A and B are shown apart, each in its own frame.
Chain A
Amino acid sequence: MMSRKTRRLWLVVACGAGVSCATALMLVAFRSSLSFFLSPQEVIAKHPAPGMVFRLGGVVQANTVVMGTRDSRPYTTFRITDGQASIPVVFTGVLPGLFRQGQGVVTVGTMAKGDREFMADTVLAKHGASYMPAPVEQALRKAGKWNPKFGPAPNAATWDDKSPRTIEADNNG
């Protein structure tokens, strides 16, 4: 039988080893899998490096959704706007059922070369009771499009035509 001290030592050593392994794993994992959320305005301001995975969120701009087929795979192009800026998005795959114009969405992907369009590999449309993802809500608030204090979000279809600054114009000028 071991003494209480030895037993406690074993326990501390085991816990310490486990915790330090976990911390090391977490730090490594954090480095590779953290992704930032950017609104269209921030994308234009910050020009994220091509290849850096981030989340682009906003509202699907009305009359910009084009669906087509490329190599018998469905692809969709649309623009995401926060009312101040708008970014073209290319997505190959099946859109979630709740995807529609004027809908708040979050897309995950990278900027294509040339900073022209966002290549999304995931599109998330909110499945909750309120159809506005929280980061999008904040982006809209920052863009001055909506303050939650004054009631629910405006119908996005009514304001997304106000010729927001586009990434092409920004790059050219």
Chain B
Amino acid sequence: MIPALGHFVLALALAIAAAQAVIGLFGPMLRDRLVLRAAPALAISQFIMLGLAFAALVWSGVVSDFTVRNVAEFSSSTTPLFYRITGTWGNHDGSMLLWCLILSLCGATVGVFGNNIPTSLRARVLGVLGLVSGGFLLFTLAVSDPFRRIWPPPLHGAGVNPILQDPGLAVHPPILYTGYVGFSIAFAFAVAALIEGRVDAAWGRWVRPWTLVSWIFLTCGICFGSLWSYYTLGWGGFWFWDPVENVALLPWLTGTALLHSAIVVEKREALKTWSVLLAIATFSLSLCGTFLVRSGLLNSVHAFAASPNQGLFILVLLALTIGGSLLLFAIRAPVLAATGMFAPVSREGALILNNVFLCIIAAVVFTGTMYPPFVDLAFGMQISVGAPFYDQAVLPMVAPLILAMAVGPMLPWKRGAIGPALVKVWYAAVAALIVFAYYAFQRHFIAALGLAGAVWVMIGALIDIGERVRLFRVPLGQSFARLGTIPRASVGAALGHFGFGVVVLGIAGMTLRVHDVTVLHPGQSVALGGFNWKLDSIVPATGPNYTARKATITVTRHGKLVMVLKPERRYFTAQKVKTVAAAIRTNGVRNMFATFAGEDNSGGGEFRFNVHPFAPEIWLGGFIMALGGAISLSDRRFRIGAPARVKLRKPAGSATV
């Protein structure tokens, strides 16, 4: 009964999305106030319908209704409640529904919070969102229906993939999807602006907060994903340049570029066409990120919901969305003329440099990711592009970005000079040089470069804040008081840059890692990274739906106990699958990482021990970046919007009501 209702409201949501698309896109031409008001209402009701459908699917999972194929194949009666809920989106059909739910949430958010947007623009934005949503709802209903029933129902479900039985599944996909899908709003704004033929500072002001929200989610989503694979896959890597990771990185790169270029649109009314293109590109890459992976075109080591048979429908849908918006861009872009003027050495210039490099990096990653499927289709050869490609081609491109990152925020708008900006950051340069010299002296040249870059960016960000509060130039108390008065967007930006520096610190620190694979019998020990790792015992253990072998490893340094690690090997009885549960301990600047890989006949255990200096900073930095974004989002000008400008513009706009 409940699944049938869920299926029904899903169909209802499709009908509403269609209405939203038609009314939103053609309503503004009628110049009818009531018609325009309908768009937000439809967006909100579409969200409610999809919310109900999603709740119905979760309910079917919770009560283990095995007549629903989705539940029967990816859940079982022995699966713990938590994973019965998260299992809802741990497979292709369910995650499609989650995707559509978040898309409709975006529409509803614009409907509820978009009161400061001109009604006609808002209707068009919602119309575009409705169109996209309609397409994907049609796909969900027609090809990947999460409510498909089977009869007779199996007695026990097949159970969730043990790798996915992890709290990471509760956090990573919804947050990553929110990040991906959130860019649909920037996309819809871009398409609506192309239809209206107008992009101005106000447009930049509306687009930026929405972009910022999805950027925050995407940053967190990527961080969680990286953290999850770090502790799950068991060999201590945090980023594998795997296609599935790359396609998440691509919209992050262009989204970050959009975040910066939207500032220029807002402050200086320049880079308008470019920002529109970036908005389109970012959402297009998000779509590719979600769907190319599932179409079976890309190979990956990660667990994700794949469904190769539905590739064609998705590819057509992608081609229509991306191709259609790019066509519209090609036709309408010349209408959007630039007005702002500036010199190359200026804040705008620095932001353009940021955009150029971010987009080049995105292009390199895109080439590396798409080359293997291209070669496969064109020449029938199976090749793969490994991590060394990205290390060699991407990292040199990050270097200028890092160099410019500390200087850019010091430059004034319109016209500046390099000299005074460099003078401001001289102690960042000195600190970076000291760090470089220290590590270069120990012959860790790559780490030296990376750590120096990290210190440069971090101190540069602190100087940015210090300059704004006139630290050490006025009494400390006065500086502290100033901290409350400077725009939060500036604090957020500096914090975001600082967080990026922290990420660089973590990644560079990981090049100093040491690891060893060894066989130990109880009582034996091995030395690694200045620590003594001793195996005490291997004992059996049990979990809710698995049995395990648990090892106890005592780590000592100079005879003193540092920590006890308890890595496990788990055997999931229902799926007959073994997994490795790594034991990781962190002290904030270093991770100790032990995995228990197997046992031989003589009672010895195979272990992999890792010492990862600065590893926690990789994710810490990512979350600091997201926090910076959140602080920037709370800036006064976004909360209040730009009512004065909207009122001024209303009589001028021909299509506004």
Contact = CB atoms under 8 A, between A and B. Distances in A.
* Interface SS of chain B: mixed
Interface stretch (A82-90, A110-118, A120-128): A120-128
A29 B579 contact: no
Interface string A94-126: 111110100000001000000000000000101
Interface stretch (B123-131, B340-348, B419-427, B433-441): B340-348
B356 A134 contact: no
Contacts of B296: 134
Given A1-B341, A36-B382, A133-B299, A25 B392 contact: yes
Contacts of A133: 299
B606 A15 contact: no
A169 interface: no
Contacts of A55: 382, 384
B209 to A, nearest CB: 28
B518 A128 contact: no
A19 B606 CA distance: 47
Residue from the set A33, A55, A126 with the largest chain B CB neighbour count within 10 Å: A33
Interface stretch (B3-11, B284-292, B593-601): B593-601
A90 to B, nearest CB: 14
B608 A22 contact: no
A129 to B, nearest CB: 6
Contact of A95 (B302, B391, B597): B597
B253 to A, nearest CB: 13
Contact of A33 (B303, B343, B388, B600): B388
Given A1-B341, A129-B303, A72 B519 contact: yes
Contacts of A38: 382
B37 interface: no
B396 interface: yes
A135 B598 contact: no
A129 B235 contact: no
A50 B235 CA distance: 27
Contact of B517 (A1, A22, A26, A74): A74
Interface centre among A37, A74, A130 (most CB of B within 10 A): A74
A2 interface: yes
B343 A68 contact: no
B18 to A, nearest CB: 32
B163 interface: yes
A124 to B, nearest CB: 5
A126 B304 CA distance: 11
Given A33-B388, A73-B517, A94-B608, A129 B343 contact: no
Interface string A7-50: 10011001100110110011011101111111000000000000
Contacts of B393: 22, 25-26, 28-29
A30 B385 CA distance: 8
Contacts of B353: 14
Contact of A29 (B233, B299, B341, B392): B392
Contacts of B385: 30, 33-34
Interface stretch (B357-365, B489-497, B500-508, B644-652): B357-365
Contacts of B233: 96, 127
A162 interface: no
A37 B606 contact: no
Given A33-B389, A74-B606, A134-B296, A7 B343 contact: yes
B479 interface: no
A4 B341 contact: yes
A49 B361 CA distance: 34
A74 B600 contact: yes
B578 A97 contact: yes
B600 A93 contact: no
B306 interface: yes
Contacts of B308: 134
A96 B597 CA distance: 8
B191 interface: no
A108 B299 CA distance: 14
Interface in B518-566: 518-520, 526
B388 A25 contact: no
A33 to B, nearest CB: 4
Nearest to B235: A94
Interface in B372-386: 381-386
A129 B70 CA distance: 13
Contact of B383 (A35, A94, A97, A100): A35
B299 A67 contact: no
Given A11-B352, A18-B357, A73-B519, A95 B343 contact: no
Contacts of B328: none
Interface string B567-605: 001000000011110000000000000010110100010
Contacts of B389: 26, 29-30, 32-34
Given A7-B343, A34-B383, A94 B360 contact: no
Nearest to B392: A29
A36 B381 contact: yes
A33 B360 CA distance: 20
A67 B602 CA distance: 12
Nearest to B390: A29
A64 to B, nearest CB: 17
Contacts of B580: 96-97
B389 to A, nearest CB: 4
B415 interface: yes
Interface in B35-92: 74, 91-92
Contacts of A138: 382
A69 interface: yes
B234 interface: yes
B305 interface: yes
B143 to A, nearest CB: 17
A26 B364 contact: yes
27 contacts: A1-B415, A2-B344, A7-B344, A14-B353, A18-B356, A18-B397, A19-B360, A22-B363, A22-B397, A25-B396, A26-B364, A26-B393, A28-B393, A29-B393, A35-B386, A37-B384, A73-B517, A73-B518, A73-B519, A92-B517, A94-B234, A97-B577, A97-B578, A98-B577, A129-B303, A129-B305, A134-B296
Given A14-B344, A18-B357, A30-B389, 9 more contacts: A26-B367, A29-B388, A33-B392, A73-B518, A74-B519, A97-B569, A129-B74, A129-B91, A129-B92
A-B complex: 10 closest residue pairs judged by Cβ atoms: A37-B382, A94-B597, A29-B392, A33-B388, A33-B389, A29-B393, A74-B606, A127-B303, A25-B393, A97-B580
